[in-house]
Chain A
Amino acid sequence: MGVNARAYSELSDDEVFEQVKCGEVAAFEEIYRRYKQRIFAYCWRIVQDRWLAEDVFQQTFLSVFEHRDQYTGGNFAAWIYTIARNWAFKARARQQRIQGHEVQEPEEGIDAIAPDTSLSPEAAADYAIVLEHIARLPVEYREALELRYLDELPYKDIAQILGISESLAKVRVFRAKKMLQKILAVRDSE
């Protein structure tokens, strides 16, 4: 305890989270600052609904908080993403039950709600096309690809989040890229 806020920014996730366990509010602020945008975007990508994403986001941080003593170190990013993923899938399953139909097409992708205004029109259009095609990939490949390129997570983390081996995570990302390449090639040739 007693680490000041500036020093937290120089510590690893595990080191900061140890302070969260001791009840250090400043440490929590640091963890929250590091992950809030990534986790929110991740939740949104899974549930495809802004309101639901807000619920899942809050629930994720609450769970992290509630179960902070159960984190024994090693890979904080994978841990928090796993929690977010589990809540998001639960939320989505519940939503499908409420809506009365199983297949839910993406209605409001995060790019549609929060486009990056700093992009040139061409870059923004390219970005939208790539994201649109990624969203159409089979879920197991899409998830792996998004975790790799949108969340910029290492394969070790992706494997842990998806509950698969690191090699399989690499293969899934590779297959996703092959599928995406084919789709984009067809589109470019049209």
Chain B
Amino acid sequence: MKGLPEDQDVELLIARYLEGEVGKEALEPLLQQYPELRAELEQLESLEARLQTLPKPDLSAYEPFFDRVEAQLKEYLQQQAAPSSTSAVGSRVIRGGSVLPKYWIVLLGVVAVSVGIALFLRSQKATSSPQSEQMLPRYVDSAELVWELPAEVTQPVQDSDREEHNRSSRKEQGAGTLLTQQRADTARLRGIARIATPVSPVSQQIEHLRQQLNAARQQGADIATILVLERQLGILYRQQGDLQQSRRWLERAVEEADDVGLVVQKALAQGELALTLHAMGKEGESIRMLQHVTRVLRAQRHPAYQRWLQMLQRITSSQQ
């Protein structure tokens, strides 16, 4: 406001007046000191009225989505509320273990759990499917959900914390994915908006490619191979018309390439992702991403540069 000091107390006083918390008499000393404030206040009051009457967006078109989420959450709630029969069995076993000393039972338990977790993680890493993992965005860290999530998720993020969020998220992703039962539940829950697709040659190719991907992971194939397979999956899902699945696989490829610093692989996955985004109707985003891809590939003198440049030109010209 012209002439007014940038003083938080003064601003707070005016704010409180505009909110109706204090009367105009509280502002009198200010008004005498700054007569131009009167006109400014009138404008702000007029804006206040305009803001107060801002209509709400009409989200009725999203009711089917809301219903699907609700149904899944309710099912999850009911499952959570149901008593666990396995824990009861477990407690019986422990109580009945009088033949062996207790510490042996504990030791055996620890070993069994460790082996179980290792096998489980390995099998999950090998068989993680779009259904289980990509439905859950990579930014969701299962460990947070199981243990100390509230401190991070239920407390406000300060502006200065956002960069830390980025860094920690990157670190977590770099450390690999821990798919706990919680995450499996989460993933199942997040299979909300999925629609069964009829079997088609593309579906068969997808299935085949997923098997290849699983085999590659089990055999410890190099990351470049994994990325190529993931990218192919993204392309096939796009051909099939399942754009959300396509996007998820390609985003996964981008992130994994980024984690290990494979610049070209990342750019190639981003290129395909841009095409999927374009198919989703996100033209602006798609063009910006393709511009980025062509910059990277040109800098790397990569043979795919020309192809992606042509793709960018085609999409840009179709926009005009």
Residues of A near any B CB (own CB < 8 A) = 20, 23, 25, 28-29, 32, 36-37, 40-41, 49, 51, 54-55, 57-59, 61-63, 65-67, 70-71, 79, 82-83, 85-87, 89-91, 93-94, 97-101, 104-105, 107-108, 110-111, 114-119, 123, 126-127, 130-131, 139-140, 145, 149-150, 155, 160-163, 167-168, 170-171, 173-175, 177-178, 180-181, 184-185
B57 at interface by CB-CB < 8 Å? yes
A-B pairs with lowest CB-CB distance, top 3: A163-B156, A23-B81, A174-B15
In-complex Cβ contact of A89 among B18, B80, B140, B165 (8 A)? B165
From 1 to 57 in chain B, residues with beta carbon under 8 angstroms from any chain A beta carbon are 1, 8, 11-12, 14-16, 18-19, 43-44, 47-48, 50-52, 54-57
Chain A interface SS verdict (over half)? helix
* Chain A minimum-CB-distance residue to B255: A98
Q: Can you list 30 A-B pairs with a CB-CB distance of less than 8 A?
A: A32-B66, A32-B70, A41-B57, A51-B244, A54-B193, A59-B137, A62-B186, A67-B154, A85-B157, A86-B157, A90-B139, A99-B270, A99-B285, A99-B288, A99-B292, A100-B267, A111-B57, A115-B57, A116-B57, A127-B55, A145-B51, A163-B155, A168-B8, A170-B12, A171-B11, A171-B15, A177-B44, A177-B47, A178-B44, A180-B47
Chain A residue contacts of B193, Cβ below 8 A: 54
Decide yes or no: A98 and B254 within 8 Å by CB, A51-B247, A115-B57 being known contacts.
Answer: yes
* Number of residues of chain B lying within 8 A (CB) of chain A: 80
Given A51-B244, A97-B166, A98-B254; A66-B154 close (CB under 8 Å): no
Other-chain contact of A171, B12, B54, B247, B258 (Cβ < 8 Å): B12
Q: How far is the CA of A147 from the CA of B226 in the complex (A)?
A: 43
Give the chain A neighbours of B80 by CB distance below 8 A. Answer: 23, 65
Residues in A with CB closer than 8 Å to B43 are: 181, 185
Among B56, B152, B182, contact of A116 (Cβ-Cβ < 8 Å): B56
Q: How far is the CB of B40 from chain A (nearest CB, A)?
A: 8
Which residue from chain B places its CB closest to the CB of A88 in the assembled complex? B157
Say if the beta carbon of B73 comes within 8 Å of chain A. Answer: yes
Min distance, Cβ B82 to any Cβ of chain A, angstroms:
9
List B residues 270-285 near A (Cβ within 8 Å): 270, 273, 280, 282, 284-285
In the docked arrangement, what's the CA distance between A29 and B149, Å? 24
Contacting residues, chain A, for B152 (C-beta < 8 A) = 86
- Known A99-B288, A177-B48: A54·B65 in contact at CB below 8 Å: yes
State the CA gap A110–B61 with chains docked (Å): 12
Q: Give Cα A85–Cα B162 distance, bound, in whole angstroms.
A: 11
Known: A51-B247, A54-B65, A55-B137. A65 touches B76 (CB 8 A): yes
